[in-house]
Structures are given as structure tokens and as C-alpha cells.
Amino acid sequence: MTYKILITDDLSPQGLAYLEQAGDVDFDIMIGLTTEDLIKQIAGYDALIVRSSVQVNEDVLAAASRLRVVGRAGVGVDNIDVPAASMRGIIVMNTPGANTIATAEHTMTLLLALCRHVPQAYTRLKQGHWDRKNFMGIQLYRKIIGIIGMGRIGAAVATRCQAFGMNVITYDPFLSDEAARELKVKSVTLAELYAQADFIALHAALTPKTKKMIDAKAIAQMKDGVRLINTARGALVDEAALVTGLQSGKISGAALDVFTEEPLSPQSPLLGMDNVIVTPHLAASTIEAQRDVGTQIVLQVLDALRDVDFRNAINMPFSDASLLRTM
């Protein structure tokens, strides 16, 4: 049997090489598809590999008469209607570990740049001004960072913050006391985190409960002068409330890699604020992370199509294909 796979985003050469070497696979790459385009194309495919540029909604899945697997090259699956896929018996899988280090390192990059005004000082010096007095920074040492979401990335950030001598507190309702002790972090309530943290780093998944969790009410509970870092999902933050907090000084600075709408509009008020650092969703953009994401999702999809293994499937409890075949 020959399996047909549709790829809608850039994938690493290493990942494509595995597809080219597979004797039982035909694949097509169609980048820039709209939802309507995807609906028209999807019917003839057994698997779909995406990143975040397309929405795999119920209409797409309804048109996917042969589809067995949706592979997300990355972590977040908020662009995939997972319940609708489950109802149709379609496996949804991601690559949760492939970009952990890259994202954690980018979080630290933004954290340090925020403390020391690196982009602003760079721009000023490039303009010919030797300006030291306007860029007084702060140290990380002995500051409290509150990490919301202590999964793989949150834990990697915690370890790196501890290396800088920071005290790490966390809010994660799924984190056990034993895991918190192993990570040497202190679990607190969300209200306690807001009240205590000098820095807040967002590493939570986007769900209906976490959408716009950083809103005006949350900001009002935060420590005066708090600094916010978001490399997770833009929709975790109410951007209008964030702008108000930044303008008032309640939030002294923000470093953002993700936004509610991407690409970020040139008219966004965030771009005109001197206490905001922005990057265009670069957290996972390293050579190593993209190599690993591409190869992992291809190998996972191939194994799932061949009924060999279903690792990192987020909507089915099976890790052993033989168990699935007996049911």
C-alpha cells in the first residue's frame, strides 16, 4: 500500500529525506494554503503534516475522507480541532520535546535583554549616541520568577533561571509535589504568583481556560513593576490590557515572541513602546530544533500509518499498536 501525505509548511531537509527514502509513501508540499484550499485538497491524503499556518478545523476534517493522522511539527495544537478529529478516528500527534531547549534559551535571551535594555541600547548606539545613563538595568540574581506552566519548557527555563541565582515559583495545577521538589521550585497559587513575582514567564498551553488569562484583573494583582515574558502563545495575554499596564507603569517591561494575531500588525501599539521587546515567533527557530521537529514528526507519522507506533498522540491512549489492532 502507498500512503499519501500532504505537507502544508516548511519541513527540515532531514525530515523530507526520510519521506523520500520511504518506499510506501507519496508526498506533496503545498505551502500557503487557505482553509478553503485545504478543504479542496485534503480528500486524497492519508496523513497531514502542519505547523501553525493552517487551521485544521471541523470542515477540513469532514472533507478528509481518507485521513488517518494529523502531525503537528511543533508543540501547540490550538490550530487543530482535536475533539473533531477524535470523533472521526483521526490521530493527532505533536513533537513535544523537539524544541524545548530552543524555546527555553530564547526565553532566557528575552529575559536578559529585558533586564539590560539590550535592543534599545543597541539601536541608540547604532544611531551614533554613546548613551549609558538611560539604560540602567537590573540583575536576575535573587529575583523571583514566576513560571506559569511547568511542562518540559517551563522546567528547562526554571533550571536556567536557578543557574542565575533566581528563586523560582510556579503555578501549574498538574504539577505534583514530588515533581516540584525534584525541580527545586515552589508551587503556589496563581494569586500568590502574581503578588510575589518580579518576573512572570508564560509557558502554559492555550486552552479555553487559559485564553487571555493575563487580563486587567490579573495585572491588577501583580507586583508593581513586574516584567512579563511570553514565548508560549499570544492568546494567553489580553494585549489591550497589557498595553494599559505598560503605559501605567504597573508592568515595567514585556518581552514577547508571540501575539494574538500573527504576523503582528505594523499598527500594533506594542511596536511603539520603549519598554517592550518583540521578536517574530522565533523561539523554536534554531537549526537544531527545526531539524529535530522535522525528523520526529515524519517518523511518527510513518509509524502511525504503518500501525507500528503511536507515540506523542494526544487524543488516544495507545502507545502499542498491537493493542489498538485487537480492539
Report DSSP state, residue 214: B
Residues ≥6 apart with Cβ < 8 Å to 11 = 29, 49, 73, 294, 297, 298
CA distances from 180 to 147, 191, 282 (A): 12, 18, 29
Spatial separation of the C-alpha atoms in residues 319 and 233, rounded to whole Å: 28
225 φ/ψ sector (left φ>0, alpha ψ -120 to 50, else beta): left
99, 293 in Cβ contact below 8 A? yes
Catalytic residue at 311?
no
Residue 147 main-chain phi, psi, to 5 deg? -105, 120
Active site residue 192: no
Catalytic residue from among 72, 203, 233, 239: 233
For the question of residue 106 being annotated catalytic, the response is no
Report DSSP state, residue 249: T
182, 281, 288, 291: the catalytic one is 281
Q: What does the block give as the cell for 211?
A: 485564553
Of these residues, 262, 288, 306, 311, which one is catalytic?
Answer: 262
Asked if residues 219 and 250 have their Cβ atoms less than 8 Å apart, the reply is yes
Residues 6+ apart with CB under 8 A from 143: 166, 167, 198, 199
Cis peptide preceding 263, ω within 30 of 0: yes
Continuous segment of H or E residues that includes residue 26: strand 25-29
Catalytic site positions: 233, 262, 281
